[in-house]
Structures are given as C-alpha cells and as structure tokens.
Amino acid sequence: MGEELKQSLSLAWRALMSNKVRSFLTMLGIVIGVAAVIIIISIGNGAQSLILDQLKSFGKDLVIVLPGNSDEGPPSEAMGITITTLKYNDAEALSKPNNVANVKAVVAYYQTSANVIWRDKSYETVINGVTANYFDVEDSSIDKGRFFTNEEVNSAAHVAVLGSVVVDELFGDVDPIGQRLRIKNQTVEVIGVLKSRGKVGMQDYDDQILVPVVFAQKMIAGVDYLSSIRVKLVPNADADRAVSEIEETLREQHNILKKEDDDFSVHSFQDVLDTITRITNTINYFLATMAGLSLVVGGIGIMNIMLVSVTERTREIGLRKAIGATNGQILRQFLLESVCLTLIGGSIGIISGILISYLAAVVAHLLRYQWDFVISIPALLIAVLISIAIGIIFGLYPARRASNLEPVDALRYE
C-alpha cells in the first residue's frame, strides 16, 4: 500500500509537472478562492476586533440613551429625521442618585459639524458639545492645556478643546493654546488639546472640537435638544437594573405612561456589543460565502482539466488495465491527481492569503487603526479540508470516466 501510494504520488506529480503552465492555471482558481476566503475571514476578524476591542476598552458599564424609539427599524438619523425629545434636564435628572443608582457619571452630547476659521485658514470638522465629565465615559485625556469646567458648561463659555488633527490642519507648528477660533459666528478660545487617540471604528476622535454642550446647543446650533446621553455606571453595576431605572426616570420626565410610547431608547453596552457582533458576523459569513463560490468555479476548472487529462492518457489507462490495474486502482490514481492539484493550489492560496492579510494589517496600522492581525487556525484547517474535498468532488467524475474505460478501447485509442 505504501509503495503503491508513493508511486501514485510520484506519478501524479510527474503528470502535473509535465504540463506546468496548464497545472498552474488550473490551480489558480483554487489559489484565488482559498486566498479570498482566508483574506476575508482574517480582515473580517481584524475589523471586528478593531470595533469590539475599542468598545470594550472604554465601554464597560456604559449605558447609552438615544432620542426616539429605535427598538424597531433603523435609527431615525438614517432617515434624515432629527428627533428633538432628549433634553439637557434629562441628563441632569439621570445624575440624581435617587432616580438611578450606581451612576458614576452622566455625559450629555450635542454633535454637529461646522466650518472653523483661524486667521486665513478654515477647516470643516465635528463640533462635539459635551459636559465637563467627558473623560469619565471616553477613553481620552488632555495632552496640553486644560479641559472646561462645570461652570463653563453651564455658562456656555466660549472655550474649545481641539483634537490633534484639527491642530495640525489649522495651526501647524503654532501653539494653539490661547488662540481664538471662529466657529459659525462665535469666537472661542482654545484652552486645551486632546491626546491623539486614533480612529475607533468609523469615527476619528482626533478630528473634532470639544466645546461645552450648552454653548454648542445655544450659540452654534440654536437648538435645545441633545444628540445622546451616556451614563457610566460604577464598575460591575447591574446594567439591566440601571437601564430600567433610566427608562422610568425618562418616562417621568417626558410624562409617558407606556413603554410603547417611549420617545427615547436605552441601550446597555452589552446590547450594543451583541448587535455589532451580530452584524459583523453576518457580513463576514456573507463575504466568506461569496469568496467560497469562487472555489466552486475553481473546482469546475479542475474537473475540466482532469477530463482533458483522462482523454490524453487513454492509452496509458488501457495499458495499466492490461497489466492488471483494477477499476478502483485507476479511480484512486486520478482522484489522487486532482487532490494533489487542489491541495497544492490550496496551500499556495493559504500562504498568499496570510501574506495579503498581514499586509492589510500593516496598512491599517499606518492609517492609525488599532488593527489586530488575526489568522484563525480552524479557518486554515477548513481551507485545507475544503481543498481536498474539491479535489475529490470535482475529480470524481473524470476519475470514474477513466476507471470505466474498456481496456481494449483504451489501448486502441489514437
């Protein structure tokens, strides 16, 4: 058995090497298919970990309150509708311990975008109105200068803390602290610069200007509502209980009796995490399935070339039968050949897939993303098994054709 396998392998190898270009082109389908699956799984995992790790690092014990009842359907912002039900005094109500227990901090957000002007330079960026306890819920800190105080928030002080991208865009090498900027028609004084943090998910935290939330609402946008409220609980607090206490408080604030009438929605971090995981998983599986389809196309290429090979070697098959090869032995020989083809193709695909995934990770790092280079061993094993399976599945028909040839017909074949 061992000797027969060795001989069959060396024969399969010779058969493939006797037509290098053809073998390579045939393999290419499998190479591309396997590489695509590996790359998509790896990049998918990388992107997922990018989003989830960042969320986990600062999002533990976090509850997010959004305006509008978003339990059903897409968020209202996606439809171009602004919901104005969340107010600054809602945030104040949530920070009272007799309303919601175990709260460490409540941060109110009003987000908009605007053109910012300093001397002859202008730059369009995100204006993020927040409260003074911003750093309690965000994984961020001050690099230079200081953050604004509670008093400055309540008095709508004209002060701003800049992200590093905004500093680079507007000031270059000039020290921005103490400089005056124009946002819409307001003049604000730069009092601090945020430590560079990079992109988290799709959001660039360095490309924003933080201002007191009341200032952003009243002086820049002329509105009285909030974009969102983030509630940070004390470590290991019961998030479900906090969510229901927040809901009750807000219903009281908004004079709502039934849950169905809620004009806000409350999401614990775990909800958000689950949703994001579900969405990214779905996308990953979908993409991997698409890439897997190319493996089927590659398999058809294998079948095609194996049929050509069987025809070309009809006399050889006849001879083998004449000297005593059984149908089963001929079948195994051709199957081995197609499995060799797909296994070699699959291996090349795995190696190139890993290389390309690694390159993607390097590029992501250069673009300041926190990107993990993830190669899952199960995915590699599955890729190898799929390669073998394709060799068997698509090699079976040609191999059966070879094994069923009549020895006389095969020997006579010209």
Task: Please report how close the Cβ of residue 331 comes to another protein at its closest, in angstroms.
Answer: 12
The alpha carbon torsion through 74, 78, 83, 87 (nearest 10 deg) reads 90
Task: Please report how close the Cβ of residue 3 comes to another protein at its closest, in angstroms.
Answer: 5
**Are the beta carbons of 88 and 227 closer than 8 angstroms?**
no
Instruction: List the end-to-end C-alpha distance of the chain, in Å, as a whole number.
Output: 32
Task: Please report how close the Cβ of residue 286 comes to another protein at its closest, in angstroms.
Answer: 46
Task: Please report how close the Cβ of residue 325 comes to another protein at its closest, in angstroms.
Answer: 5
- Return the number of the residue (14 or 56) whose C-beta is nearest another protein: 14
Task: Please report how close the Cβ of residue 323 comes to another protein at its closest, in angstroms.
Answer: 4
Give CA separation, 193 vs 28, 51, 160, in Å. 52, 25, 9
- Return the number of the residue (139 or 406) whose C-beta is nearest another protein: 406
- Return the number of the residue (145 or 407) whose C-beta is nearest another protein: 407
Task: Please report how close the Cβ of residue 7 comes to another protein at its closest, in angstroms.
Answer: 5
- Return the number of the residue (107 or 317) whose C-beta is nearest another protein: 317
Q: Could you give the CA distance from residue 262 to residue 258 in angstroms, rounded to a whole number? A: 7
Q: Which residues bind another protein (CB under 8 A)?
A: 3-4, 7, 11, 14, 18, 315-316, 318-329, 406-408, 411
Give CA separation, 27 vs 5, 35, 158, 378, in Å. 22, 12, 66, 23
Token pair of 235 as six digits: 């470590």
- Return the number of the residue (308 or 411) whose C-beta is nearest another protein: 411
- Return the number of the residue (262 or 316) whose C-beta is nearest another protein: 316
- Return the number of the residue (113 or 326) whose C-beta is nearest another protein: 326
**Are the beta carbons of 403 and 334 closer than 8 angstroms?**
yes
Task: Please report how close the Cβ of residue 304 comes to another protein at its closest, in angstroms.
Answer: 22
- Return the number of the residue (300 or 322) whose C-beta is nearest another protein: 322
Q: Where are the alpha helices (DSSP H) in 2-111?
A: 2-17, 20-59, 88-94
Neighbouring CB atoms inside 10 A of 152's CB total 18
Task: Please report how close the Cβ of residue 8 comes to another protein at its closest, in angstroms.
Answer: 8
Which candidate, 48, 62, 54, 373, places its Cα nearest to that of 197? 54
DSSP 342: H
Burial track 262-276 (b if 16+ CB lie within 10 A, e otherwise): bebbbbbbebebeee
Q: Could you give the CA distance from residue 225 to residue 217 in angstroms, rounded to a whole number? A: 7
- Return the number of the residue (329 or 370) whose C-beta is nearest another protein: 329
Token pair of 69 as six digits: 């009842």
Task: Please report how close the Cβ of residue 17 comes to another protein at its closest, in angstroms.
Answer: 9
Contacts of residue 377, defined as CB under 8 A and 6 or more positions apart, other chains included, come to: none
